[in-house]
Structure 1
Amino acid sequence: METVLKSHCDEQHPQEAEELQRKQEQNKQLSGIKKDIEKLYEAVPQLVNVFKIKEKIGEGTFSSVYLATAQLQTGYEEKMALKHLIPTSHPLRIAAELQCLTVAGGQDNVMGVKYCFRKNDHVVIVMPYLEHESFLDILNSLSFEEVREYMFNLFKALRRIHHFGIVHRDVKPSNFLYNRRLKEYALVDFGLAQGTPDTKIELLKTTQSEGQQEDSVHHSVQRSVFGERNFNVSSSTYQENSSTKLIKQSKMIDVSSRKLVTKKKIISTKTVSSGVARKAASGCPSNLACDCYATDRVCSICLSRRQQVAPRAGTPGFRAPEVLTKCPTQTTAIDMWSAGIVFLSLLSGRYPFYKASDDLTALAQIMTVRGSRETIQAAKTFGKSVLCTQDVPAQNLRTLCEKLRGTNSSCTRSKDDTHTDSVNDLDLPVETDKQCAPKTLGKEIQHIQSCQESDGALEVKATDMKGWDQVPDDAYDLLDKLLDLNPATRITAKEALLHPFFKDMRL
Structure 2
Amino acid sequence: MEASLNAYQDEQPPLQAENFYRKREKNSKLSGVKKDIEKLYEAVPQLVKVFKIKEKIGEGTFSSVYLATAQQQAGCEEKMALKHLIPTSHPLRIAAELQCLTIAGGQDNVMGVKYCFRKNDHVVIVMPYLEHESFLDILNSLSFEEVREYMFNLFKALRRIHHFGIVHRDVKPSNFLYNRQLKEYALVDFGLAQGTPDTKIELLRVVQSESQQEGSVHHSVQRSVFGERNFNIHSSTYQESPTIKLIKQSKVMDVASRKLATKKKISTKAANNGAARKAANSCPAILTCDCYATDRVCSVCLSRRQQVAPRAGTPGFRAPEVLTKCPTQTTAIDMWSAGIIFLSLLSGRYPFYKASDDLTALAQIMTIRGSRETIQAAKTFGKSVLCTKEVPAQDLRTLCERLRGTNSSCAKSTSDMHTNSLYEPALAIETDKKVEFASQPLEEKLQRLKNCHEGDNDLEIKITEKATDLKGWHRVPDEAYDLLDKLLDLNPATRITAKEALLHHFFKDISQ
Q: Which residue in 1 is equivalent to 2:337?
A: 338
Cα contact 1:369–1:394 (8 A) shared by 2: yes
CA drift at 1:90: 1.0
Output the CA distance in 2 between the equivalents of 1:53 and 1:483: 41
Letter in 2 for 1:484: D
What is the letter of the counterpart of residue 89 of structure 2? S
Matched, 1:391 2:390: yes
2:438 corresponds in structure 1 to: none
Structure 1 counterpart of 2:57, which letter?
I
Residue aligning to 1:146:
146
Q: Distance in 2 between matches of 1:182 and 1:255?
A: 56
Does the CA-based 8 Å contact 2:403-2:421 persist in structure 1? no
Letter in 2 for 1:332: T
Q: Which residue of 2 aligns with 1:92?
A: 92
Question: In the aligned structure 2, how far is the partner of 1:24 from the partner of 1:186?
Answer: 35
Q: Does 1:325 align with 2:324?
A: yes
Matched, 1:120 2:120: yes
Contiguous gaps of at least 5 residues in structure 2:
216-280, 425-461
The percentage of counterpart residues that share the same residue type is 80
Q: Work out whether residues 255 and 364 of structure 1, in 8 Å CA contact, stay in contact via their aligned partners in 2.
A: no
CA distance in 1, matches of 2:371, 2:9: 55
Q: What TM-score, normalized to structure 1?
A: 0.72
2:485 counterpart of 1:499: no
The separation in 2 between residues aligned to 1:3 and 1:74, in whole angstroms, is 51
Between stretches 142-151 and 1-10, larger displacement belongs to 1-10
Determine the structure 2 residue equivalent to 1:353. 352
What CA deviation, in whole Å up to 9, does each residue of 1:411-449 have, x standing for no partner?
324599699xxxxxxxxxxxxxxxxxxxxxxxxxxxxxx
Q: Which amino acid aligns with 1:198?
A: D
For 1:22-421, what aligned pairs fall within 5 Å after superposition?
Answer: 22-211=22-211, 313-408=312-407, 409-410=412-413, 411-414=416-419
Structure 1 residue 210 displacement after superposition: 3.9
Quote the residue 2:455 is aligned against. Answer: none
Structure 1 residue 213 displacement after superposition: 7.8
Instruction: Tell me, yes or no, if the aligned pair for 2:69 and 2:80 is still in contact at 8 Å.
Output: yes
C-alpha contact 1:80 1:128 (8 A) present in aligned 2: yes
What residue is the counterpart of 1:432 in the other structure? none
Partner residue of 2:231? none
Distance, in Å, in 2 between the alignment partners of 1:248 and 1:47 is 57
Q: Unmatched 5+ residue regions in structure 1?
A: 216-244, 273-310, 420-457
Q: Does the residue aligned with 1:40 lie in a helix, a strand or coil? A: helix
- How many Å separate the matches in 2 of 1:2 and 1:188? 48
Deviation at 1:73, TM superposition (A): 1.3
Residues 72-101 of structure 1: CA distance to partner in whole angstroms, max 9, x if unpaired? 111111100000001222111100000000
Report the alpha carbon displacement of residue 464 of structure 1 after superposing the two structures with TM: 1.3
Match of residue 269 from structure 2 = none
Deviation at 1:246, TM superposition (A): 12
Instruction: Tell me if structure 2 keeps the 8 A contact 1:249–1:327.
Output: no
Residue of structure 1 equivalent to 2:472: 467
AA partner of residue 200 (structure 2): K
CA deviation map 1:109-132 (0-9, x unaligned):
000000000011110000000000
Distance of aligned partners of 1:318 and 1:18 in 2 relative to their CA distance in 1, 3 Å threshold: same
Q: Who wins on radius of gyration, i.e. which is larger?
A: 2
Determine the C-alpha separation between the residues in 1 that align with 2:205 and 2:384: 29
Distance 1:373 1:44 in 2: 55
Cα separation, 1, equivalents of 2:172 and 2:6: 50
- TM-fit CA distance, 1:463: 2.8
Compute the displacement of 1:9 (Å): 3.7
Write the distance in 1 (CA, Å) between the matches of 2:16 and 2:294. Answer: 50
CA 180–391 in structure 1, closer or farther in 2 if over 3 Å, else same:
same
Alpha-carbon separation, structure 2, partners of 1:198 and 1:135: 34
The alpha-carbon distance between structure 1 residues 479 and 6, as it changes in their structure 2 partners (threshold 3 A), is same
CA distance in 2, matches of 1:355, 1:61: 19
Cα offsets for 1:168-190 (capped at 9, x unmatched): 00000000000000000000000
Contact 2:402 2:420 in 1 (8 A): no
Q: Check conservation: 2:405, 2:422, Cα contact below 8 A.
A: no
Residue 483 of structure 1: aligned partner? 488
> Match of 2:78, SS?
strand
RMSD: 3.4
CA drift at 1:461: 3.2
Q: 1:385 to 1:121 in 2, by over 3 A?
A: same
Aligned positions of 1:443-462 closer than 5 A = 461-462=466-467
Question: Structure 2 CA distance, aligned partners of 1:94 and 1:2?
Answer: 50
Secondary structure at the counterpart of residue 461 of structure 1 = helix
Higher helix share: 2
Cα distance, 1:212 vs. partner? 6.3
Q: Decide whether aligned partners of structure 1 residues 336 and 8 sit closer, same or farther in structure 2, where only a CA change above 3 A counts.
A: same
SS of the equivalent of 1:373 reads helix
Alpha-carbon distance between aligned partners in 1 of 2:295 and 2:367, rounded to the nearest angstrom: 18
Residue 214 of structure 1 deviates from its aligned partner by: 8.2
SS at match of 1:33: helix
The separation in 1 between residues aligned to 2:143 and 2:356, in whole angstroms, is 32
Cα separation, partners in 2 of 1:192 and 1:213, compared to 1, 3 Å: farther
* 3-state SS of 2:417 partner: coil
State how far apart, in whole Å, the 2-side matches of 1:248 and 1:354 are.
Answer: 36
One-letter amino acid of the counterpart of residue 172, structure 1? K
Corresponding residue for 1:16?
16
